[in-house]
Structure 1
Amino acid sequence: MSVLAQPYAVPSRVIGVYRFLRKARGHRESIESLCKLLAPESLSRRSDRSAGGDDEGGGRDMVREAINECLGAGLLLRGEEDTVELSPDLQLDGSASTQTKGNLPLILADLFFAPENPANHDLGCAISWYLAQDAYDPPSNWPSVEGALQQQIGGERLRITNNARYGNFEDWACFLGFAWTHSVGDKSILTPDPTAQLRLRLPALFAGNRGIRRSFPEVMTLLAKLCPAFEGGLLRAEVERYVPPRAPQELSTTTAHAWLRLRDEGEVELTRESDANHLILPDGDRSVPVSHVTWTPVAQQGAFDAV
């Protein structure tokens, strides 16, 4: 299936599976033990009734479905005797808390959007579509997202076909750092904003070297390869034919605002040389041409806390 289509594969359960295995001996555990530990019987009955499942084991079934999606995404590998373990390809430096709060959104975005594994490309296309919306007036809840998808995409609407899938889309878009929510009265409002995900990409975009100045068009080309939900990426290309076209060399308002926000936070410097290739960052009623970007030589500020 996918984390978008599987209602039990929410970020909190995936975090729970990852945290436990991160600390487990050999990063390995039996599926049965993992389900029992993450869904004790005292919690299972309450979860079962709210989800309409059986009175026994339903909470564990939710964990089991989340484990299945972790396997499908490549976060976990199946071992002998019905065990699972964290993929040895993961970078497991640092504490489990640091990994969960800092790197897990990056790890999962890489796995979900990997070209060689299309299992979660439906989520990737949905996020790409949302980032292509106007940051000044985006669809911000299920009715408006449903209407925008029907108008722009039609048909299966990128598989966000009901309120439950919209809930999964909202949860994952926010956890991965592509959006955030806030409340207006008693209503929750979703806003497209990839600043958190972009901030996590800065070390790779600048080869880990602060103070490095690079061509901005080249950085955007690399960003599209690292995270294909951004402009120029394979997933973004799948959906951009459905949305209003941008002017040549102009970034989307969501990506532009993310770079400008990082500039305002002191994370990057954006400059323009008149004789250099540049891209345009729309900013309200003005346009900001940028030819070079520098990852500023200061300590990281405002680190993204994913949980």
Structure 2
Amino acid sequence: MSVLKEPLATPSRVRGIFRYLLQKKGQKEKREVLEKILSPDELVKDAPPGRPMFRKTINQIKNRIVNGVHNIGLLIEEEDEISINPSLPEDSRNPQIAEQLLPNTLATLFFASGNTDEEDFGLVCAWYLAQNIYDAPGNWEMIQNQVSKQQVGELLRMTNSTLYGQMDDWMCYMGLAWGHALGGKRVTVPDPTLYIKRNLKNLFNNQVGAKIIIQEFIDRLANKCPLFETGKFREKIDANIGGRQLNYLSTSTAFALFRLRDEGYIQLKRESDADLMILPKANNQVDDDGRISHITWQGENS
């Protein structure tokens, strides 16, 4: 079962467990001790036995075998101890920066590590990023209508508002969407600006001023997070809903790149005799037509 279908496994609970283990010697703790620290007896005295909130959260993010496939997790459990997975990249275990990197670490574990248990979650997130950012379904009722309209109910299996709530919480935490209040209600927007900004250094191999072909950039992005165009989850979604023309980016990806350009993190250029990609815009009141061939990273402090 993925985090999409386990409402007790929220980003805040995962962060709490990870933050505690990050500072412990050896980055591990006895399960019983960890349970009582994160779910004190006084707070769970009227709850069901077995501390289900703690147990189900741990089960969603630890190494496990699903249908014969080993899904790599954030944590491992050996005998009576739970620890941060020592096979994670060194930066992802570094107490100085690991919590800051946790959204990226989880996105990789969920979507780019062959984690078969999260395939339904990957499809739902890819579907949401494929929606028109300027007219995206921003609440559960609108999601239901759009799923029905695009005839992807069997593919996504978004059958209740709890699943939408999990999608909302996790996509916002990983920087793939954000939420705001409108008319007294929360509305979600599929905007991956924060995720892409966090990963520019990696996508450009830490080379400030590096210029690459836009298609290569998109391929690198999809390799890191296959929710984006050309990634395995996005390809499956695009094949089912159609709508995106060849060499066109979705409005959510294009919007993120334009925001990053306007904030000074990247440059977007069109060079003659180069293959182009089209970045659609909300309107024509702009200084170019969205035809881009190259992207340049300006650095983190631009």
- TM-score, scaled relative to structure 2: 0.90
TM-aligned CA distance change 1:239 to 1:45, over 3 Å: farther
3-state SS of paired residue (2:162): helix
3-state SS of paired residue (2:189): strand
Task: State the match for 2:292 in structure 1.
Answer: 290
The equivalences for 1:4-83 within 5 A come to 4-45=4-45, 48=47, 54=48, 56-57=49-50, 60-71=51-62, 72=64, 74-79=73-78, 81-83=79-81
What are the Cα deviations for residues 123-156 of structure 1, in whole angstroms up to 9, with x where unaligned?
A: 1111100000011100000111112112223444
3-state SS of paired residue (1:242): helix
Letter in 1 for 2:61: C
1:242, CA displacement in angstroms? 2.4
Letter in 2 for 1:285: N
What are the Cα deviations for residues 282-307 of structure 1, in whole angstroms up to 9, with x where unaligned?
A: 1123441111111104516xxxxxxx
What are the Cα deviations for residues 153-173 of structure 1, in whole angstroms up to 9, with x where unaligned?
A: 344451321111111111001
Task: State the match for 1:304 in structure 2.
Answer: none
Task: State the match for 1:196 in structure 2.
Answer: 194
1:90, CA displacement in angstroms? 2.0
1:77, CA displacement in angstroms? 1.3
Tell me, yes or no, if the aligned pair for 1:195 and 1:259 is still in contact at 8 Å: yes
**How many residues are treated as equivalent by the alignment?**
289
1:254, CA displacement in angstroms? 0.2
Among 109, 129, 132, the alignment partner of 1:131 is 129
Tell me, yes or no, if the aligned pair for 1:35 and 1:63 is still in contact at 8 Å: yes
Root-mean-square deviation (CA, aligned residues, Å) is: 1.8
1:115, CA displacement in angstroms? 4.8
Tell me, yes or no, if the aligned pair for 1:149 and 1:157 is still in contact at 8 Å: no
Of residues 11-20 and 27-36 in structure 1, the stretch that sits farther from structure 2 once superposed is 27-36
1:78, CA displacement in angstroms? 1.7
- TM-score, scaled relative to structure 1: 0.89
The equivalences for 1:1-307 within 5 A come to 1-45=1-45, 48=47, 54=48, 56-57=49-50, 60-71=51-62, 72=64, 74-79=73-78, 81-93=79-91, 96=95, 98-100=97-99, 102-156=100-154, 158-286=156-284, 287-297=289-299, 299=301
Stretches of 4+ aligned residues off by more than 6 angstroms: none
1:215, CA displacement in angstroms? 1.2
Letter in 2 for 1:121: E
Letter in 1 for 2:294: H
TM-aligned CA distance change 1:114 to 1:297, over 3 Å: closer
TM-aligned CA distance change 1:175 to 1:18, over 3 Å: same
Of residues 252-261 and 117-126 in structure 1, the stretch that sits farther from structure 2 once superposed is 117-126
Task: State the match for 2:69 in structure 1.
Answer: none
TM-aligned CA distance change 1:267 to 1:154, over 3 Å: closer
3-state SS of paired residue (1:183): strand
| % identical equivalent positions | 40
In structure 2, C-alpha distance between the alignment counterparts of 1:298 and 1:114, rounded to whole Å: 25
Tell me, yes or no, if the aligned pair for 1:150 and 1:157 is still in contact at 8 Å: no
1:43, CA displacement in angstroms? 2.2
What are the Cα deviations for residues 57-106 of structure 1, in whole angstroms up to 9, with x where unaligned?
A: 5xx32011100001145111121x22121111223448646422x31111
Give structure 1 stretches of 5+ with no counterpart. Answer: 49-53, 301-307
Give structure 2 stretches of 5+ with no counterpart. Answer: 65-71
